[in-house]
């Protein structure tokens, strides 16, 4: 298969979809890898490092998109990239389609096989490709929140850790998942007074155990959310429903009740945000104020630490990417249920139920969308099917992985 790795063009997005070690794994397996010139520079990876492992560097983004059967990215394609998307192409990246209806329309019209990192999900319910970025974003949420609390950045002028004789800053974290746990670790390390809210009592029990009572755990009901937001200096939103829009748990009215100079950091912004007053911002202009409350809502927070986040991300994405390249997308999703859950669009259909529901598309189950044949109506084999010889050679592996769908995660 021909793999394309374009340079990310989202504002101050410095990550890259594939590191040289990952590219080498594709090349060694017989695939061709094109990398756009300068694609890895933001993460400290030079073009010659890709060339050394057998990749070809292409100067023009349009050429790379046109020649590639599968595009491996970090962030969803943005408007200038829509025209570069090829009909029937595989795109393997973060999509968060519930928050970008215009992109979903393009993917449907161009019959793209959109494999979303954020919805690949093994039977245990984990999100292995979202986890590393959630860990980074959770830790960053406290760092940027602490900075935003400084008076020069519009905050109330509070040091999270306080000093002897002066109260510590109060942090409320809504959501006790990967983001919330990572945020709590950093907040505690800075000496803050931390509360975590979640609807899952088993999760709260687990958090109470691992933090040994150092954090306050509360059920995430409207009363507790309101009280914590009003009393806290920093509120972190870390709520996730895979593939769907985040629920609005902090209303505009509640934001008005918070003290002036408080800070909210909505890590869920790329899924629409769990704070009603949130709107996506960039690393160039990361904050804005509503009712005197500073909002930090950067949709690609890990892009600020591209060296760490690129390697963490590609460690997780490479196995599934190889599976798609080796088998073709249809055979790969049939062989691996976790990967199948990552398929958001295919053949002009929306194949992920939460996305279809949120954006008003008819939901078409994956088996219905892919049908019984990997061929187009005109009889031509689709781009996203592996060459017949390769598919035949890999059929035994596909059957084995069907019995153990999460073995490669």
User: In the numeric block, which tokens belong to residue 256?
Assistant: 């008005």
**Look-up: residue for tokens 């909505």?**
266
Inter-residue contact 135 to 182 (CB < 8 Å)? yes
CA-based R_g, the chain, Å: 22
The CA–CA distances, whole Å, from 249 to 119, 202, 241 equal 22, 21, 13
d(CA 225, CA 377): 53
Q: What single DSSP character describes residue 14? A: -
Q: Tell me whether residue 63 is one of the annotated catalytic residues.
A: no
Give the separation between CA 236 and CA 84, rounded to whole angstroms. Answer: 36
> E strands of 43-135, at which residues?
56-58, 70-72, 90-93, 113-116
Establish whether 384 is a catalytic residue.
Answer: no
Per the structure block, which two tokens stand in for 226? 């309101």
- The CA distance from 356 to 362, in Å, is 6
From first CA to last CA, the distance across the chain in angstroms is 21
Among the options 96, 295, 349, 384, which is catalytic? 96
Q: 211: closest CA among 238, 182, 249?
A: 182
For residue 197, give the H/E element and its range. strand 193-198
Catalytic residue among 266, 270, 326, 385: 270
> What does the alpha-carbon distance between residue 202 and residue 214 come to, in Å, rounded to a whole number?
17
- Residues whose CB falls within 8 Å of the CB of residue 285, separated by 6 or more in sequence, listed in order: none
Dist. CA 139–CA 118, nearest whole Å: 19
Check: CB of residue 275 under 8 Å from CB of residue 247. Answer: no
What phi, psi does 173 have (nearest 5°)? -115, 115
| Greatest Cα pair distance in the chain | 77
Q: Which residues are catalytic?
A: 96, 270
């Amino acid at each position: 298969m021909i793999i394309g790795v374009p340079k990310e063009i989202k504002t101050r997005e410095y990550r890259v979809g594939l590191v040289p070690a990952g590219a080498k794994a594709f090349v060694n397996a017989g695939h061709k890898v094109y990398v756009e010139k300068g694609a890895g520079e933001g993460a400290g990876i030079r073009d010659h490092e890709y060339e050394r492992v057998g990749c070809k560097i292409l100067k023009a983004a349009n050429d790379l998109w046109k020649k590639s059967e599968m595009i491996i990215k970090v962030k969803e394609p943005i408007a200038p990239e829509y025209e570069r998307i090829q009909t029937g192409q595989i795109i393997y990246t973060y999509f968060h389609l519930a928050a970008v209806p215009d992109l979903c329309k393009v993917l449907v019209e161009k019959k793209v096989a959109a494999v979303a990192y954020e919805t690949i999900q093994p039977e245990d319910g984990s999100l292995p490709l979202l986890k590393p970025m959630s860990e980074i974003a959770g830790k960053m949420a406290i760092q940027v929140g602490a900075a935003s609390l400084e008076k020069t950045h519009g905050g109330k002028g509070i040091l999270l850790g306080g000093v002897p004789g002066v109260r510590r800053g109060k942090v409320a974290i809504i959501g006790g998942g990967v983001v919330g746990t990572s945020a709590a670790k950093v907040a505690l390390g800075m000496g803050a007074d931390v509360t975590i809210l979640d609807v899952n009592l088993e999760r709260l029990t687990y958090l109470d155990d691992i933090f040994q009572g150092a954090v306050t755990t509360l059920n995430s009901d409207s009363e507790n959310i309101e009280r914590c937001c009003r009393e806290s200096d920093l509120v972190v939103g870390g709520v996730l429903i895979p593939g769907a829009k985040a629920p609005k748990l902090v209303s505009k009215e509640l934001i008005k009740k918070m003290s002036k100079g408080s800070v909210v950091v909505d890590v869920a912004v790329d899924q629409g945000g769990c704070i009603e007053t949130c709107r996506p911002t960039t690393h160039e202009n990361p904050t804005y104020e509503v009712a005197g409350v500073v909002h930090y809502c950067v949709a690609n927070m890990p892009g600020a630490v591209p060296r760490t986040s690129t390697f963490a991300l590609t460690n997780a994405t490479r196995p599934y990417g190889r599976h798609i390249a080796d088998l073709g997308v249809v055979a790969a999703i049939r062989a691996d249920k976790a990967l199948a859950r990552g398929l958001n669009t295919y053949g002009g259909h929306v194949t992920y139920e939460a996305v279809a529901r949120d954006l008003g598309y008819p939901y078409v189950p994956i088996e219905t969308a892919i049908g019984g044949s990997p061929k187009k109506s005109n009889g031509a084999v689709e781009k996203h099917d592996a060459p017949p010889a390769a598919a035949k050679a890999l059929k035994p592996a596909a059957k084995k992985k069907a019995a153990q769908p999460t073995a490669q995660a």
